């Protein structure tokens, strides 16, 4: 799943292939930061993660599409990649194909076990624009 991008430094691109969480920061309605860990993958140079449409994070992204993601190397907590970018698009996930793909990656299960009745899931696609890294 390696990301090919001139924005992601080759020295830290391997972190994106690890089974680690990305902490995603968005901007809340009053300008305050909001941050949560998410499962993620990469495709076509973009970072993708799942959300339900009723979460505050979705309202934040609809109002302001700027995000920052922090991803720590699973083997070295002092090596990390921070990615700043913009939500390129939000794709519907009506059959839960993407969240099930993430359940396979992170849990080894074919079906995401935490779906609640009525959950409407989407795939948030982020275009990386700037990175910082350490380690």
The sheet carrying 40-43 orders its strands as: 33-38, 22-27, 66-72, 80-92, 121-134, 46-52, 40-43
Give a yes or no: residue 118 inside a domain. yes
Q: In this predicted model, what pLDDT tens digit does every residue of 50-60 receive, in sequence order?
A: 999 999 999 99
Lowest-pLDDT range, 84-88, 116-120, 122-126? 116-120
Give a yes or no: residue 127 inside a domain. yes
The kind and range of the H/E element at 102 are: helix 97-107
Q: What is the CATH number of the domain that holds 61?
A: 2.30.110.10
> What's the average model confidence in pLDDT over 109-130?
94
The count of structural domains within the chain is: 1
In terms of residue numbers, what domain contains 72?
10-134
pTM listed for this prediction: 0.92
């Amino acid at each position: 799943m390696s990301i090919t991008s001139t924005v992601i430094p080759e020295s830290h691109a391997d972190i994106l292939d690890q089974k680690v969480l990305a902490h995603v920061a968005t901007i809340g309605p009053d300008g305050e930061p909001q941050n949560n860990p998410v499962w993620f993958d990469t495709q076509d140079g973009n970072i993708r993660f799942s959300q339900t449409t009723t979460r505050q994070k979705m309202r934040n992204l609809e109002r302001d599409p700027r995000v920052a993601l922090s991803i720590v190397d699973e083997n070295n907590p002092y090596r990390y990649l921070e990615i700043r970018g913009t939500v390129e698009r939000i794709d519907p996930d009506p059959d839960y194909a993407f969240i099930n793909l993430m359940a396979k990656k992170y849990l080894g299960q074919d079906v995401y076990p935490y779906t609640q009745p009525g959950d409407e899931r989407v795939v948030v696609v982020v275009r990386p624009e700037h990175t910082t890294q350490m380690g």
